[in-house]
Amino acid sequence: MLYQRSIKAARILALMFVAAVCMSLSGIMFLLVANYMAKHIAHDRQLSEYKDEFQKLRHPPDTSSVAFESRVERPTGNGNNCFYFVGELRRYWGTRSSIEAFYAVQEGVELEFVENGKLSERVPYGLDSLSNWSRSSANSNDNLYVVFTLNDDFHEFASFDLRCH
């Protein structure tokens, strides 16, 4: 009888141990997922603020919008921080120098002209080719440029947001 009680007690203790391990692992998994989601949401909120600022940008009268892109990216090379890209692919009918002069007076704006369907490496990977922009009304024979902002966040650790690694 005493032997059977000790076997039952050992089984109960084993089940309690397994339950405690499962709850601990579940708690750790919850914290990891919550941290990932919190960083992801924080970076999306920051991107949204940059998009709002970009929408205030003025454009030359002899241009039209073709496509708009915004994304959270990792820096080129090695890094554990985020870049916030907000840009617009635009068609123009004037001269490059008139476009450059128009944007030169607006702070924080960068400009890249499309050459043979390509953009320079200053534009994030995946958007450096004209074929990767979701465009419906432009072709590679058009005079196109990208006006964009590329903001970095070196003060905030990227944590578990995989877009920044």
C-alpha Rg value of the chain to the nearest Å: 26
For position 59, what pLDDT does the model report? 95
Is the model's pTM score more than 0.85?
Answer: no
Backbone angles phi and psi of 131, in degrees to 5: -65, -15
Helix H segments across the chain? Answer: 2-55, 96-104
Under 8 Å between Cβ of 85 and 71? yes
Residues 6+ apart with CB under 8 A from 128: 118, 119, 120, 121
The sign of the CA dihedral 88, 129, 124, 112 is negative
Q: What is the mean pLDDT of each run of 10 residues along the chain (165 residues)?
A: 69 78 74 66 85 93 91 69 86 92 91 84 75 65 87 62 62
